[in-house]
């Protein structure tokens, strides 16, 4: 199990780097587009590109954020519980998260296939949309794996105590 966790952690870090590059690209395109508008020019499809990159940023950063425990958690009630009930609650919420993001992965993959079959493209620059939806599915799949492994770990911890 330790090897799987380390592999997921390494993969999450690599995918998060893609997310960071996408944030930089979004920023550069937006700034350049605004500056060019003062010169009565613009970047065709800047809005499309920034929107599609936003999907990359969000989906590719989910798993890393989960590995780093960077998500907001409201634990003021759970903090007061003994260790075993805390672990049980963590396992239950991990299982719910795994199921939820597993469902999102599945539906996003089907949605990407629908876009591929229909030939759906962005409005301005006519860029295919399906790779970005597939990227969302892949980011959610990685998060699902991270949550599943975390759920297994907390379940083991809950029943060891």
Q: What is the pLDDT of residues 81-110, one digit of tens each?
A: 888 888 888 888 889 999 999 999 999 999
Count Cα atoms within 13 angstroms, Cβ side, for 43: 16
Residue 147: closest CA among 107, 104, 103, 101: 101
User: pLDDT value at position 136?
Assistant: 97
| Residue of 5 and 161 predicted with greater confidence | 5
Residue 32: Cβ-neighbour burial (10 angstroms; 0-12, 13-18, 19+): middle
- If you count them, how many residues does the chain have? 161
Name the 3-class secondary structure at 41: coil
Does the pLDDT at position 73 exceed 80? Answer: no
Q: What is the mean pLDDT of residues 20-46?
A: 95
Q: How confident is the model at residue 161 (pLDDT cuts 50, 70, 90)?
A: low
**Can you give the pLDDT at residue 71?**
76
């Amino acid at each position: 199990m330790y090897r799987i966790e380390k592999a997921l952690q390494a993969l999450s870090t690599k995918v998060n780097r893609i997310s960071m590059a996408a944030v930089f690209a979004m920023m550069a395109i937006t700034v350049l587009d605004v500056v060019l508008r003062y010169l009565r020019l613009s970047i065709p499809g800047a809005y499309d590109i920034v929107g599609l990159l936003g999907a990359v940023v969000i989906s590719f950063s989910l798993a890393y954020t989960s590995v780093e425990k960077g998500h907001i958690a409201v634990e003021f009630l759970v903090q007061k519980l003994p260790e075993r009930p805390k672990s049980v609650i963590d396992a239950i919420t991990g299982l719910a998260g795994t199921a939820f993001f597993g469902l999102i992965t599945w539906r996003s993959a089907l949605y990407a296939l629908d876009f591929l079959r229909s030939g759906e493209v962005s409005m301005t620059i006519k860029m295919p949309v399906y790779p970005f939806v597939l990227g969302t599915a892949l980011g959610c799949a990685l998060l699902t794996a991270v949550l599943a492994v975390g759920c297994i770990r907390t379940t083991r911890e809950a029943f060891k105590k």
